[in-house]
Amino acid sequence: MIRFVQYSVGLLLVATLWVGGTPHSAQAQTMDDTPRAFLLFHKLEYVPGPAERPVELEATSWIGGDINRLWLRGEGEASTIRREGDVEAEALYGRLVSPFFDAVAGARVDRRWGDGGDTRGFLAVGLQGLAPYQFEVEPTLYVSHEGDVSAQFAASYHVLFTQRLKLESELETKVALQEVPEWGVGTGVNDLGLGVRLRYEFHRKVAPYVGYDHSWAFGETADFAGGDASSGAFVFGVRLWR
Amino acid sequence: MPTDDASPESPPAAPSWTESPADEAAPAPLNRRDFLRSTGAFAVLMGAQTLLPTWAHASGSAPAGGLTALGPTRRAGRRVEYDITIDRTPFEVAGKRATAITMNGTVPGPLIRLQEGEEVVLRYHNALDEETSIHWHGLLLPNRFDGVPQVNYPGVPPGETFEAGPFEVRQYGTYWYHSHSGLQEQLGHYGPLVIDPAEGTPFEYDREHVVVLSDWAHDDPYQILANLKKGEHYYNFQQQTVGEFWSDVSEEGFWDTLKNRLGWDRMRMSATDLSAVRAPTYTYLLNGQAPGANWTGLFTPGERVRLRVINASAASIFDVRVPGLEMDVVQVSGQNVEPVATDEFRIGTAERYDVIVEPTDDRAYTVFAESLDRSGYARGTLAPREGMDGPVPELRERPTLTMAAMGMGGMGEGDMEDMKQGGMDGMSERDHGDMDHGDRSGDMSGSMGGGDGDGLRPPGTLPEPVMHDPDETHGPAEAGLPMMTQSRLHEPGIGLGDDGWRVLTYDQLKAADEKDAFRAPDREIELHLTGNMERFMWGLNGVEFSDADPIRVEHDERVRLTMVNDTMMNHPMHLHGQFMELENGHGERAPLLDTITVKPAERVSLLIDGHEKGPWFFHCHILYHMDAGMARVFYVEPAPESDNEFYYDQVT
């Protein structure tokens, strides 16, 4: 938990330093080459159901212009009961290659603490953007520092009930070519996660939500997990950005 | 006291000069104006501005506040000098206090009234703690006075003073002035400017009111731009929801509604992408007054009242009407047109329309300026006495973009074959142009060359429809090319035309003044207005201002500027320092404009004579589009032997 807080605070500090530098210049005739910074806490939530009662975080940040950007993507969870948790953090160079898609490439670091704390690194390449019919998609290919190859696909979709009440559905799945038992990864399709979050945008940048996540683990991955191959939980959180 | 200047009759009732020769008629109104101007100057000397801050005007308690007139600092013979101080001043909008960037303490800035033929000096003092500038919108003047930092001059640093002038006033009409520094315009840095003609007007009126429309945001405009850049349809609280889906189903049936929604979703576009910023972020103002404050202009029943309507907003397009009164449109962009009777007109950002109304009843009439997206309105009243209210219309329903905005459909059934035919013709013509002639300017991928004007259609005619070549994209800076672009000058625009009353269209405008010459263009320049709403990227030919080279035109070269709007939004495009002749099918009666609102998927052409030498700014007048890059320098080269030197050449 303490580590989780440290990582979160670290991410916040870095992002705030960037965002704080937003220039207020009345000098340039246009501001089309002004670098900007964005930070979105897509998920900042408490999950009361499971035994670990984790808090979870998922954040995206970028700095740069319209075409070239440095992207930071991170997610993690930490138990509120025991000193354990994990974080995945990515730093990627992204370039807008079509009106709706960035190609990204960079590195990812996974770190977990508690029993059997460990760290591993990856190279990452992928795409992120808006597919036809307004699906946000994010396919990424990873090669770990030990040569293990895996891929991850995430997609999300928004439905507007009102101008402020929005339902976001998402899907996430992972595939691996090699098994990595120490990280609970089997070959083939690892898992599938589906989630819905109903948020209310009191302010565009501050939106509390309730949601439900369900995930299924498959094959060896399910065996490594040892417990139920399927689990679901309600989540309570807030979506923030600046 | 400034309140004297702010009387509802300011500017003073103008007599009709049609009957009398100019040299006899001119002195009388000048004398009266001089009196008002000197009282204004006196008030400034007395420090009255600090005793009566601007928000007192805007509170609604002051009788019909609004515009103040600017008195000349000096007048000697033909030469007249004006002084403006730019500062921050408390400003109250609809009961909420803020700080505005003001000129001589007011929003809008004072009404400057010039006389055609006189020599003026417009001097401005920067009392801000940041750089500022004043651009004189629509005025013909030497390039160094035009007021665009980095293009015409370095801008005016804090504490310093700049003199625009002396220069001779070479035109008449309704204009305005505003900052071209950062986003100061959004903070109140704008004001009206009227030039009385040397030779009278071809129409009669008994009284006039200047009507300045604008938009006020309590949010920091730099934050607004940042929010727009970061997306999420930040200021759009008019998006299509599940509820609207089902209400459309009950009106149009399930499949048609689903097909419509899927069509937009497939393109990853929003059918409600009408304005960058809207109410409730914006409060729309009329002469600096929120709707509740009810600016009132007086009339005597039976009088012909001229309304000089100026859209001084940062990023709003208004639809203006005076329910119960017909409007005679007599001037557009400050230039006389043959009067057109209408009931409503759309006024793009920075445009001006002068209309004459003739209220005969002893009652109040509402001047109603609805924002294009129908999120709000600015409103004032024409009344025989103070303190009256006319009926205020309901806001109409927020329109949604149709496939016409993507250059699909929108034409009448059965036109399909014609359209294809025209499209193919247009395309082959363009291919021809591309093949034969080189490209003169670096970034204009879509432009046609052609020094001799061979193969260009006759001047004053409408452009042919053109199918968009799907291979000719503008890269990631352009989301969603229209299939076909065509003239839309006969269309009133989105959300207009179905109310059972007349709406002005550009094709109705005919210049009232004879032109010295009306010859064929030497060359055509095609510019595509491009954008990617997902990233709030705006540019021309897919290139943003800071990455672009100037558009270069030779001295005295006559070019046809063809603008093709590849986006789904309206763009009021403004060229500084000269008029453009709109080719709207009336031949040499082509109306003169300095700003034209280009509709989605529209192809429009204008003729420009390269008479005004120097680098002129050319841009979309929606402030946030301009700042996102929808701008160029339009450089009219001086004659080869001239020794003209321009600031722009020193900094680039």
For B411, the token pair is 């034409």
CB contact under 8 A, B629 and A32: yes
For residue B130, give the nearest of A26, A29, A66 by CB distance: A26
For residue A26, give the nearest of B184, B227, B232 by CB distance: B184
Q: How far does the CA of residue B183 sit from the closest CA of chain A (Å)?
A: 7
Amino acid code (one letter) for B638: P
**SS3 assignment, position B5:** helix
Residue B271 domain-assigned?
Answer: no
Chain B hits for A241, Cβ within 8 Å = 230, 232
Let me know: does A23 contact B622? Beta carbons within 8 Å: no
Tell me what pLDDT residue B66 has: 74
Sign of CA dihedral B641, B647, B648, B649: positive
- Fold entry, domain A2-19+36-241: Porin (2.40.160)
Per the structure, the complete domain to which residue B195 belongs is given by: 2-202
Q: How far does the CA of residue A41 sit from the closest CA of chain B (Å)?
A: 14
Tell me what pLDDT residue B438 has: 34
CB contact under 8 A, B149 and A96: no
Confidence of residue A4 (pLDDT cuts 50, 70, 90): low
User: Residue B234: which region, alpha, beta or left (left: phi > 0; alpha: psi -120 to 50)?
Assistant: alpha
Give A220's DSSP letter: H
Chain B hits for A67, Cβ within 8 Å = 476
- Domain limits of chain A? 2-19+36-241
CB contact under 8 A, A162 and B241: yes
CB contact under 8 A, A160 and B240: yes
For residue A29, give the nearest of B132, B151, B230 by CB distance: B151
3-state helix, strand, coil in chain A (%, to 5): 10, 60, 25
Q: How far does the CA of residue A107 sit from the closest CA of chain B (Å)?
A: 24
Tell me what pLDDT residue B408 has: 74
For A139, the token pair is 């396919």
Q: How far does the CA of residue B539 sit from the closest CA of chain A (Å)?
A: 9
pTM above 0.90, yes or no: no
Residues A162 and A143: their CA atoms lie apart, in Å, by 42
Residue of B nearest to A165 (CA): B241
* A–B interface: beta-carbon pairs under 8 A: 110
Give B111's DSSP letter: B
Q: What are A27-54's pLDDT values in tens digits?
A: 468 898 889 999 999 999 999 988 889 9
Q: Best of A32, A158, A163 to disrupt the B interface by mutation (most B CBs within 10 Å)?
A: A32
Tell me what pLDDT residue A28 has: 64
Give the end of a domain, one of B202, B230, B263.
B202
Tell me what pLDDT residue B508 has: 98
CB contact under 8 A, A160 and B239: yes
Chain A hits for B266, Cβ within 8 Å = 132-133
Chain B hits for A100, Cβ within 8 Å = 268, 479, 534
Give the end of a domain, one of B181, B202, B223.
B202
Average confidence (pLDDT) over A63-79: 94
Please report, rounded to a whole number, the percentage of residues in chain A having pLDDT higher than 70. 88
Residue of B nearest to A132 (CA): B266
Residue B541 domain-assigned?
Answer: yes
Residue of A nearest to B270 (CA): A134
Give the end of a domain, one of B174, B202, B230.
B202
By residue count, chain B amounts to 652
Least confident range of A78-82, A211-215, B285-289, B577-581:
A78-82
Residues B462 and B471: their CA atoms lie apart, in Å, by 25
Q: Best of A25, A31, A206 to disrupt the B interface by mutation (most B CBs within 10 Å)?
A: A31
**SS3 assignment, position B83:** strand
B339 CB-contact burial (10 Å; exposed 0-12 / middle 13-18 / buried 19+): middle
CB contact under 8 A, B181 and A27: yes
Q: How far does the CA of residue A92 sit from the closest CA of chain B (Å)?
A: 18
Chain B hits for A127, Cβ within 8 Å = none
Instruction: Give the start-end residues of each E strand in B393-490.
Output: 466-467, 484-485
Q: Best of B128, B260, B268 to disrupt the A interface by mutation (most A CBs within 10 Å)?
A: B268
Chain A hits for B150, Cβ within 8 Å = 27-29
Q: What are A176-205's pLDDT values in tens digits?
A: 999 999 999 999 999 999 999 999 999 999
Chain B hits for A99, Cβ within 8 Å = 476-480, 532, 534
Let me know: does B627 contact A31? Beta carbons within 8 Å: yes
Closest alpha carbon to B281 in A203, A40, A37, A25:
A203
**Three-state SS sequence of A129-167:** EEECCCEEEEEEEEEECCCCEEEEEEEEEEEECCCCEEE
Domain count, chain B: 2
Q: Are strands B74-76 and B112-115 parallel, antiparallel or unpaired?
A: unpaired
Question: Across chain B, which distance is largest between two alpha carbons, in Å?
Answer: 73
CB contact under 8 A, A163 and B238: yes
Give B208's DSSP letter: E
Residue of A nearest to B477 (CA): A99
Q: What are B211-223's pLDDT values in tens digits?
A: 999 999 999 999 9
Closest alpha carbon to B635 in B580, B553, B575:
B553
Amino acid code (one letter) for B133: S
B594 CB-contact burial (10 Å; exposed 0-12 / middle 13-18 / buried 19+): buried
Residues A104 and A97: their CA atoms lie apart, in Å, by 10
Chain A hits for B232, Cβ within 8 Å = 204, 241
Let me know: does B215 contact B313? Beta carbons within 8 Å: yes
Angle ∠(B484,B485,B487) on CA atoms, nearest 5: 140
| Other CB atoms within 10 Å distance of the CB of residue B386 | 11
Tell me what pLDDT residue B65 has: 54
**SS3 assignment, position B139:** coil
**Three-state SS sequence of B270-321:** CCCCCCCCCCCCEEEEECCECHHHCEEEECCCCCCEEEEEEECCCCCCEEEE
Closest alpha carbon to B279 in B156, B373, B176:
B373
Tell me what pLDDT residue B47 has: 34
Average confidence (pLDDT) over A146-153: 96
Kindly give the parts of chain B with pLDDT less than 70.
Answer: 1-65, 409-454
Give the DSSP H/E element, type plus range, for residue A223. Answer: helix A219-225
Q: What is the CATH number of the domain that holds B437?
A: 2.60.40.420
CB contact under 8 A, B234 and A204: yes
By residue count, chain A amounts to 242
In what side-by-side order are the strands of the sheet with B537-540? Answer: B537-540, B523-532, B558-565, B603-609, B580-582, B592-593
Let me know: does B593 contact B516? Beta carbons within 8 Å: no
